[in-house]
């Protein structure tokens, strides 16, 4: 079954931006609990983009964690038949604990869909990702996927990208020089994540967080420009990659499908 047909069956032709369900929050939850319940509901709802026989990219982050857990449940209880490709060591460990079969990269041709989170998204479905430090692996997986579904919450919906510091993965060799190049491009502070006790990615690299502020009006050009700096491994701008956004809020689940995208 194709992803598009699956969406039609599972979402019953709900239009973009329409709330499709509101099963939570139960009375008495705190604001923090409401946000977590909404993230869980969004993560679970995104599983409806997955059907038998698919190879699925498994994203990283607090919201998509619920997606991975639900996929594991459906495999165990509903006999869903899928294979996964994780985007981080953390997700790999979670998937293995749930007995989700994982495939090696030499077996990967194309993935049917990747489900992942985002730190920001705009009206053009451009994203900032990498708050968890897995941006390079996330982008590798997304680029070999026939569709990308993003699970998130309304706080990540922005008019212009950049309020969330833009993560950039850089190699350790000469990182100080790479940082200087990035600082020349960034209107705010650019700094190594973790300071004197630096954060190390799954790939053994550093993360430079660049505070652009809400000023990234041309994310496609900025992505290309940053990728041209020697020492940069990958930048947390994901442009022209996302096809759908599943947003969980205390009011319900909202699904947005990109016009002209691969799921339209």
Report CA torsion sign: 244, 151, 237, 202.
negative
Using DSSP, state whether 16 is helix, strand or coil. Answer: coil
Nearest Cα neighbor of 120 from 106, 135, 109 is 135
Per the residue annotation, which of 120, 138, 169, 254 is the catalytic one?
138
Question: What is the distance between the alpha carbons of residues 26 and 48, in angstroms, rounded to a whole number?
Answer: 23
Question: What is the distance between the alpha carbons of residues 8 and 18, in angstroms, rounded to a whole number?
Answer: 14
Q: Estimate to the nearest angstrom the gap between the alpha carbon of 55 and the chain centroid.
A: 17
CB-neighbour burial class of residue 128 (10 A; exposed 0-12, middle 13-18, buried 19+) = buried
Q: Residue 119, CB half-sphere, CA atoms under 13 Å: how many?
A: 20
Residue 254 falls in the annotated catalytic set: no
Q: Tokens at residue 154, please?
A: 């309304």
Using DSSP, state whether 128 is helix, strand or coil. Answer: strand
The answer to whether residues 83 and 92 touch, using CB atoms and an 8 Å cutoff, is no
Please identify every residue annotated as catalytic. 138
């Amino acid at each position: 079954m194709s992803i598009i047909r699956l969406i039609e069956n599972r979402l019953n032709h709900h239009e973009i931006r329409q709330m499709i369900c509101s099963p939570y929050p139960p009375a008495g939850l705190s604001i923090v609990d409401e946000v977590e319940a909404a993230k869980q509901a969004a993560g679970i709802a995104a599983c409806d983009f997955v059907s038998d026989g698919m190879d699925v990219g498994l994203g990283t982050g607090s919201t998509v964690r619920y997606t991975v857990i639900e996929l594991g449940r459906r495999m165990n209880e509903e006999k869903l038949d899928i294979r996964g490709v994780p985007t981080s060591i953390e997700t790999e460990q979670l998937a293995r604990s749930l007995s989700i079969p994982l495939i090696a990269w030499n077996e990967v041709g194309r993935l049917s869909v990747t489900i992942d989170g985002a730190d920001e998204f705009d009206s053009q479905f451009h994203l900032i990702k990498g708050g968890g430090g897995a941006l390079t692996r996330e982008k590798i997986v997304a680029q070999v996927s026939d569709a990308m579904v993003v699970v998130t919450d309304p706080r990540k919906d922005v008019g212009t990208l950049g309020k969330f510091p833009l993560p950039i993965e850089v190699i350790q060799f000469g990182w100080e020089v790479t940082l200087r190049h990035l600082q020349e491009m960034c209107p705010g502070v650019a700094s190594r994540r973790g300071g004197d006790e630096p954060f190390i990615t799954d790939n053994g690299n550093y993360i430079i967080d660049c505070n652009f502020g809400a000023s990234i009006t041309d994310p496609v050009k900025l992505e290309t420009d940053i990728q041209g700096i020697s020492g940069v491994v990958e930048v947390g701008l994901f442009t022209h990659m996302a096809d759908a956004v599943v947003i969980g809020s205390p009011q319900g689940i909202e699904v947005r499908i990109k016009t002209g995208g691969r799921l339209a």
